[in-house]
Amino acid sequence: MHELSIAMSIVDLAEEYAAKEEAQRVLEMEIEVGELSGVVTEALDFAMEEAVAGTLCEKARWKIIPIPGEVRCRACGHVFPSDSLFSDCPRCGQAGVELVRGNEMRLRSILVE
């Protein structure tokens, strides 16, 4: 995934919200990033610095909140925490899991003025 385009879509969302609220600028943003989303938080953080330039978010602070990944074994249905979709089930040892949560990428909260 390309972190800069993600960062730009976050800034777009924030600006849309600010416009709707008739705000002058965005003060704070909280961004949730799932561990299984494929987004590298350090890269996203870096991309955000570029994406906010010249926007209402220019002076904003942001926080990137990692959401732990969770997967379910396709063989036995066991749900367990994991940071990979290619892990083996700790209960039955089978490979092959499906995502339960952790691929989200969203703007959790935003503060404008």
Site residues (CB under 5 A) for Zn ion? 73, 75-76, 78, 89, 91-92
Residues in the chain: 113
DSSP 55: S
First-to-last CA distance in the chain?
32
Q: Is the CB of 57 or the CB of 97 nearer to Zn ion?
A: 97
Smallest distance from Zn ion to CB 35, Å: 20
Strand 61-67 vs strand 26-34: parallel, antiparallel, or unpaired?
A: parallel
Q: Is the CB of 27 or the CB of 75 nearer to Zn ion?
A: 75
Q: Is the CB of 74 or the CB of 108 nearer to Zn ion?
A: 74
